[in-house]
Chain A
Amino acid sequence: MKKMEKLSGELFRPLTSDEQKRIAGRFGHGGGPVTETPITLFETYDPVPDSTRDGDNE
């Protein structure tokens, strides 16, 4: 592996909002519940922040 990789590589692509959506899934050997995990505690952040707005230019 080249030590200094190009930033344009797939590995360094920002996650899309779809990839950050909370997913439904099944856990366990077949019998687990299909669910989205409940909202975890102390969640005062925005899970998908709008990073195009930083307040400086508004």
Chain B
Amino acid sequence: MRSDVRAPVFQLFACCLPVKGARRSLLCDVQRQSFQFIPNGLYEILTEHAGKTVAEIKAAYGHEYDEEIDEYFDFLLQNEFGFWCDDPERFPPIDLTWEAPERITNAILDVDARSDHDYARILAELDDLGCKALEVRCFHGPSPAELQAILEAARYGRLRSLDLLVGFHPELTAEALLDLAREHQRISSVVVCSAPEARRLPPTQTGVTLEYRTEAVSSPSCCGKVHPGYFAINLETFAEAQRHNTCLNRKISVDARGEIRNCPSLPRSFGNARETSLHSALAHRDFAALWSINKDQIDVCKDCEFRYVCVDCRAYIQDGSDLYSKPSKCAYDPYTAEWHSSAERPAVLAGVQKGDPV
């Protein structure tokens, strides 16, 4: 029998990824799409002391925290974050390289009562760019026929997901909207705003969700909120967040007036979709400038444990003159691990000086 047999070491499952924050850390399970808060001490054990036996870890802390260390490993095991093994080298970390073959992966199309979009052209260009997810936001209450015209333009494209956000219209009954969703199976969700009463229908057999909300969403300024409800705990977002902006990367938008922007809330236009193709806008040397602003570069966010599961906003930021400042609609303070009232802070539009019309 060998005399140099080592005690087993704890190995995290490759899909369980620890993220250190200023006050506490997060252990993200990107496979189960969930997370648990953990102390920074446990983060340190999982990273700096990875591959060590429990006895070695306890010794490294001078046996001051033996009880806590035992509790940590019980917690990890009970929550199925990992397992004991003798050969951790056989379990390499997951590759967090993010790549996408599409030039554009997602887009926003804003519509209001005065919009004069050439839907067929815009949708064809998006299709050509490989766009697979589109959100159409109709700030007015479109009739079913108006919605049908937009959806018709997307009928033969290669979109995989189409989210509709529309203002209330009396003819937009649940029945009418579900009929639309049955006819246009790329529709993933429909949200009707300014509705007389709030209600959420159970998802259809194909997973389409339909929700009526009483809140008004009347302009792009309604976007940009950072909240746990919007966290995306999945490998794609986690990997993309390592080097890219989780909102703007590979995104293109056409606002209600037809202006092509990174996001409808950002002030800079790269031309109007009536005269400029989305391809031309995308080819502009500045168009992709914001795509690579990742959370590790953003003030405050870089110390936040949620930074790889959070969808960023570069339009509404605390300091309009600093593109690396924290989203102003984020109420989380990673230094105290507390959520504050978001109403306390004004939303500043990036690149817009005080007094400029928005």
Contacts and interface: CB of A to CB of B under 8 A. Distances in A.
Interface of A: 3-7, 9, 11-15, 19-29, 32-47, 49, 51, 54
B191 A7 contact: no
Given A4-B41, A7-B71, A11-B23, A27 B343 contact: yes
Contacts of A42: 105-106, 132-133, 161
Given A7-B71, A39-B191, A34 B232 contact: no
A54 to B, nearest CB: 6
A38 B227 contact: no
Interface string B333-356: 000010000110011000000000
Nearest to B341: A25
Given A32-B221, A49-B34, 14 more contacts: A4-B72, A11-B37, A23-B227, A23-B229, A27-B225, A36-B213, A36-B222, A38-B163, A38-B217, A40-B311, A44-B161, A44-B234, A45-B234, A51-B33
A40 B165 CA distance: 10
A37 B232 contact: no
B33 A49 contact: yes
A39 B135 contact: yes
B39 A54 contact: no
B293 to A, nearest CB: 17
A22 B191 CA distance: 13
Contacts of A40: 135, 223, 230, 247, 311
B107 to A, nearest CB: 8
Contacts of B222: 33, 35-38
Interface string B174-188: 000000000000001
Contacts of B61: 3-4
B285 interface: no
Interface string B94-131: 00000000000111100000000000000000000000
Contacts of A29: 346
Contacts of A19: 228
Shortest 8 CB-CB contacts between residues of A and residues of B:
A22-B229, A4-B65, A4-B41, A5-B39, A37-B225, A4-B68, A41-B106, A42-B133
B251 interface: yes
A11 B347 contact: no
A53 to B, nearest CB: 10
Interface in B218-249: 218-219, 221-225, 227-234, 247
